[in-house]
Amino acid sequence: MGVKLLLDKANVPGIRTYEVYRREGGYRSVEKALKEMNPESIVEEVKKSGLRGRGGAGFPTGMKWSFIAKPEGVPRHLVCNADESEPGTFKDRYLMEFIPHLLLEGLIVSSFALGSHDTYIYIRGEYAWITDILEEAINEAKANGWLGKNILRTGFECNIHVQRGAGAYICGEETALIESLEGKRGNPRIKPPFPAIQGLWQRPTVVNNVETLAAIVPIINIGGEEYAKIGVGRSTGTKLISACGNINKPGVYEIDMTISVEEFIYSDEYCGGIKGGKQLKACIPGGSSVPILPANLLLKTATGETRYMNYESLSDGGFATGSMLGSGGFIVLDEDQCIVKNTLTLARFYRHESCGQCSPCREGTGWMEKILHKIEHGHGTIADIDLLWDIQRKIEGNTICPLGDAAAWPVAAAIRHFRDEFEWHINNPVLSQTSNFGLQHYADPIHVPA
């Protein structure tokens, strides 16, 4: 069993309530931070921990915090990103639903470090019942003196507010989230200025993911150095992985980042193997935006090394032969799944979620969906594959926000690794409507050049 820092108490009956959470040692990090530390030393501790943002981009949290501007007399804000809308990702939901006080505890310490007196949790609108759970937890924390004015008689004031979104993936992008929090459409802003300088209501703002902010609690409790000892290289601490698709045990797992992908998929402690005794065909290891990998490149890198569940190992080989840890949304496809159809549903998703501000993204996502639809339904031509490749290349890097890239990558990776399957679809327009290409060579051992 690996180390658990976030979900170690998840199975304690009643841990959702303040009483049990506190009895199990909850809110100790707030006592330590407010009484024994100051904002600067907390930021230092977070830097030492090596914590990287858990929302998908993996940016070092301590460094991000140190960028926040501190103009005299201007309030600053911490915003917690609980928009969680990347297909395959449902880890933040688990944490908020079952241990809401862990998030609040992390938010109070982080608000103290950043000087935020009004901190907002922006939660996707569909998580309506979790909004109620969080509101309830906030009321409990307030009643017990952890929120409000003069917390622990230190003079520090902190209020936490929960804001529901209303159905828009793009609002997970931090500047779109800020726009939405201001009561506007979720159109991403052009950067610079970065939120750390001009964010919510033009005030200095830090946006962090739910899991990132929860991880602040163990970092303060055990110290940044101890935290950094868990894991490997620049992948420090633990990571929540939400596993789904054709596996025996879908769910949310906390891993320390030293386990192999193979162990994660096949061990009974985690995914428990492929459902129905079938074979693994492919996997999208970090949320729908990251490149899909065929089984052979997933378990081993192109140079034949074992692949591990961490930032560096999953991206080994770059986009040519690797992928990304991303948000930790781990989507497993068995031998019966059709890559063309899977890619089509993702293309449809990105077309639906494009905010429409930039033409390469607005038009490109629409085109990609149309062409994939054509291929999937037996009307494609070989030239369509090249056209798809061309369109995705023209989107990537040419847009205001990274949604454009996020839409382009899944299509690019599907063609890069599964071109045979696309061609088979096109060459067998009738057969492909009733049967699948299957596993073919996608799990064959990879040839490592000597």
Partner 1 sequence: MTYTFNETQMAELNRLVARYPEGKQKSALLPALHLAQDSFDGWLPTELMDYIASLLKIEPIEVYEVASFYSMFNLKPVGKFIFEVCQTGPCMISGSDDIIAYIQEKLSIKPGETTKDGVFTLKLVECLGACGYAPMMQVGKIFREHLTKEKVDSIIAEYRATVTN
Taking CB under 6 A as the criterion, the residue among 33, 213, 247, 400 binding ligand SF4 is 400
Amino acid letter for position 200: L
Q: What is the dihedral of CA 112, 100, 51, 178, to 10 degrees?
A: -70
Which part of the chain contacts partner 1 (CB under 8 A), choosing from 84-92, 208-216, 230-238, 259-267? 84-92
Taking CB under 8 A as the criterion, the residue among 84, 173, 369, 421 binding partner 1 is 84
Least Cα distance to 74 among 171, 174, 204 occurs for 204
Least Cα distance to 259 among 3, 9, 7, 60 occurs for 3
Taking CB under 8 A as the criterion, the residue among 46, 346, 368, 407 binding partner 1 is 346
Taking CB under 8 A as the criterion, the residue among 60, 115, 193, 250 binding partner 1 is 250
Taking CB under 8 A as the criterion, the residue among 182, 305, 390, 444 binding partner 1 is 182
Count of residues making up the chain = 450
Q: How far is the CB of 251 from ligand FMN (least distance, A)?
A: 19
Which token pair is 299?
Answer: 């378990």
Q: How far is the CB of 402 from partner 1 (least distance, A)?
A: 17
156 vs 349, beta carbon nearer partner 1: 349
Which part of the chain contacts partner 1 (CB under 8 A), choosing from 61-69, 345-353, 377-385, 439-447? 345-353
Residue 265 three-state SS = helix
CB proximity list for 141: less than 8 A, separation 6 or greater:
18, 101, 104, 108, 147, 160
Whether the CA torsion 425, 427, 430, 435 is positive or negative: it is negative
49 binds ligand SF4 (CB under 6 A): no
Which part of the chain contacts partner 1 (CB under 8 A), choosing from 212-220, 250-258, 301-309, 439-447? 250-258
Separation of alpha carbons 256 and 250, rounded Å:
18
Q: What angle do CA 435, 440, 441 make, to 5 degrees?
A: 165
136 binds, among ligand SF4, partner 1, ligand FMN, none (CB under 5 to 8 A by kind): none
Q: How far is the CB of 249 from partner 1 (least distance, A)?
A: 9
Cβ neighbours around 190 below 10 Å, total: 10
174 binds, among ligand SF4, ligand FMN, partner 1, none (CB under 5 to 8 A by kind): ligand FMN
78 binds ligand SF4 (CB under 6 A): no
Amino acid letter for position 111: S
Residues 146-175 that bind ligand SF4 (CB under 6 A): 170
366 binds ligand SF4 (CB under 6 A): no
37 binds partner 1 (CB under 8 A): no
Taking CB under 8 A as the criterion, the residue among 27, 65, 90, 409 binding partner 1 is 90
121 binds ligand SF4 (CB under 6 A): no
333 vs 395, beta carbon nearer ligand SF4: 395
Residues 183-212 that bind ligand SF4 (CB under 6 A): 188
Longest CA pairwise span in the chain (Å): 74
Separation of alpha carbons 226 and 238, rounded Å:
12
Q: How far is the CB of 299 from partner 1 (least distance, A)?
A: 19
Residues 380-439 that bind partner 1 (CB under 8 A): none
181 binds partner 1 (CB under 8 A): yes
Residue 350 three-state SS = helix
Separation of alpha carbons 196 and 175, rounded Å:
11
Whether the CA torsion 376, 382, 387, 388 is positive or negative: it is positive
Residue bearing tokens 């995705």: 392
Least Cα distance to 371 among 339, 333, 343 occurs for 343
Separation of alpha carbons 181 and 189, rounded Å:
13
Report which DSSP code applies to 24. Answer: T
Taking CB under 8 A as the criterion, the residue among 51, 158, 168, 283 binding partner 1 is 168
Least Cα distance to 104 among 78, 69, 127, 84 occurs for 78
399 binds ligand SF4 (CB under 6 A): yes
Residues that bind ligand FMN (CB under 6 A): 53-57, 59, 81, 83-86, 169-170, 172-174, 207-209, 212, 401-403, 406
CB proximity list for 342: less than 8 A, separation 6 or greater:
292, 333, 414
Least Cα distance to 60 among 181, 235, 265, 229 occurs for 235
114 vs 177, beta carbon nearer partner 1: 177
Residue 141 pairs in a beta bridge with: none
Site residues (vs partner 1, CB under 8 A): 75, 84-90, 93, 118, 124-129, 161, 163-169, 180-186, 201, 242-246, 250-252, 284, 288, 329, 331, 333-334, 337, 341-342, 345-346, 348-349, 352-353
Site residues (vs ligand SF4, CB under 6 A): 170, 188, 354-358, 361-362, 399-401, 403-404
